[in-house]
Amino acid sequence: MKTAVFSILLLVAIATMPATSVAKEGRLPSKALVAQQFNVWNDALKTGNAEKVAALYCEPGGILIPTLSNTIRSNHREIVDYFAHFLQLKPIGRINTMFIRVLGPDTAIDSGIYTFHLVKDGKPEEVRARYTFVYEKQHGKWCIMVHHSSAMPESEAHPMPHY
């Protein structure tokens, strides 16, 4: 009888352990915290240091699908290479529209439209683009798992028909 009671108590304890663990660690990040990750990234751009920008991407696993290149970057070295060239344009980003989805305590998505102020051939230029950042918390720190950015397919002066 004592063995049966002990076995039942042990099973109940084991069954409730994951739930207790999730409850303690399961706090969802606020949308403000997720939105702040763009500011961290944008501030890294302002340093002009490609290594600092690339350090914000998850390692391993970070993927960059950039605005101004047809090449997908899937490792640290490739991400540094992209930003070494992109940072020559002195980019400063500004969010126009932001949609944040929190998927869990360690994963969130930020999608929307941003505008980059660039200096190309000594002349200021603006590029509007659609973006998606997938953030993941690894080892207690947020990093960019996926970053997709693509220039807007239509100009405001000549909009395409909406389907």
110-145: pLDDT as tens digits: 999 999 999 999 999 999 999 999 999 999 999 999
- pLDDT (tens digit, 9 = 90+) per residue, 14-60? 343 343 333 345 699 999 999 999 999 999 999 999 999 999 999 98
Q: Structural domains in the chain?
A: 30-151 (3.10.450.50)
Name the residue among 124, 112, 141 with its Cα closest to residue 33. Answer: 141
pLDDT higher than 90, residue 71: yes
Cα distances (Å, whole numbers) of residue 47 to 40, 92, 112, 123, 145: 11, 10, 24, 20, 21
The rounded Cα 93 to chain-centroid distance in angstroms is 14
Give the per-residue pLDDT at 157: 52
Percent share of the chain, pLDDT over 90: 74
Higher-pLDDT residue of 39, 5: 39
* Other CB atoms within 10 Å distance of the CB of residue 64: 24
Give the per-residue pLDDT at 153: 84
DSSP H or E segment with residue 19: helix 2-25
